Amino acid sequence: ENWPEIKGDITFKNVSFSYNPEEPILENFNIEVKAGETIALVGETGSGKSTIVNIACRFYEATSGEILIDGVNYKERSQLWLHSNLGYVLQSPHLFSGTIKDNIRYGRLDAREMDIIRAAKLVNAHDFIMKLEKGYDTEVGEGGGLLSSGEKQLISFARAVLANPRIFVLDEATSSIDTETEQMIQKAINKVLKGRTSFIIAHRLSTIRSADRILVIRKGKLIEAGNHHQL
Ligand code: ATP
Ligand code: MG
């Protein structure tokens, strides 16, 4: 479907959230991200970074407050609209049993083979895929179990760029990723995020350095913001 092009501003306005009522995770969380800006979220484990991006993707509903995209509450849009405009690579990406090609194509039945390969090349996944015995037709196993976590992130990354979203969310895997895959992900980030609004949960200094703004999260609160020179 052809949606009218969005700009890609995203705002969290007084967003509160908890997984269970006794334990608030976010309380009146506010951020305003301008179209094209790259935001890095940093903070210790359990501080709420993944929760923030999962709310941005609307996998969790805020208990109160609003998330605005180009000034409009995203609840007024469909999930299909949201996920055409906002692409995501989650910390533990979900792959389904099927081939690599199917996993990159996902719901986009109109995607041609060349589009799939282009997306994989853009995120530097093409080379590792071609090293597999059956290339793009390799079965990934239940939940992608036959791939490493870094490889799963790359496949998920390719899936996200195939949709060409204006807003991009990337929750970098923390689990051991070999240096080579890590470098591939890093290069992919630099290429893909250019010109898009993006949230990156970054663990590597190189990713953090290239962000326009770094937000330091502690216990669900924004405690500092600035670029890496300011912090
Ligand atoms: P990490 O750097 O380890 O990925 P994070 O900053 O992404 O951490 P979150 O995953 O957002 O942290 O978790 C924030 C808090 O919410 C933590 O206390 C965590 O234990 C809790 N939490 C996260 N997911 C759930 C869930 N599905 N159910 C209940 N509590 C959760
Ligand atoms: Mg996390």
Residues with CB under 5 A from ligand 2 (ion): 50, 91
Q: Angle between the 113-122 and 149-162 helix axes, to the nearest 10 degrees?
A: 120
pLDDT digits (tens, 9 = 90+) for 69-85: 999 999 999 998 998 89
DSSP 74: G
- For residue 59, pLDDT beyond 80: yes
Closest CA to 189 of 170, 167, 174, 176: 170
Question: Between 1.20.1630.10, 3.40.50.300, 2.102.10.10, 3.90.550.10, what CATH number should domain 10-226 receive?
Answer: 3.40.50.300
d(CA 98, CA 82) in angstroms, rounded, equals 25
Mean pLDDT value of segment 88-104: 92
Q: What is the number of alpha carbons within 13 Å of residue 110 lying toward its C-beta?
A: 3
Partners of residue 113 on adjacent β-strands: none
- For residue 187, pLDDT beyond 70: yes
Centre of ligand 1 from the C-alpha of residue 126, in Å: 32
DSSP 157-193: HHHHHHT--SEEEEE---S---HHHHHHHHHHHHHHT
Nearest bound ligand to CA 49?
A: 1
The answer to whether 218 touches 210, Cβ cutoff 8 Å, is: no
Mean pLDDT value of segment 177-203: 84
Domain residues of the chain, as ranges? 10-226
Mean pLDDT value of segment 164-175: 86
d(CA 139, CA 77) in angstroms, rounded, equals 34
Mean pLDDT value of segment 170-199: 82
Mean pLDDT value of segment 200-213: 85
Mutating to test ligand 1, I would choose from 25, 149, 201, 218 the residue with most ligand atoms within 8 A of its C-beta, which is 25
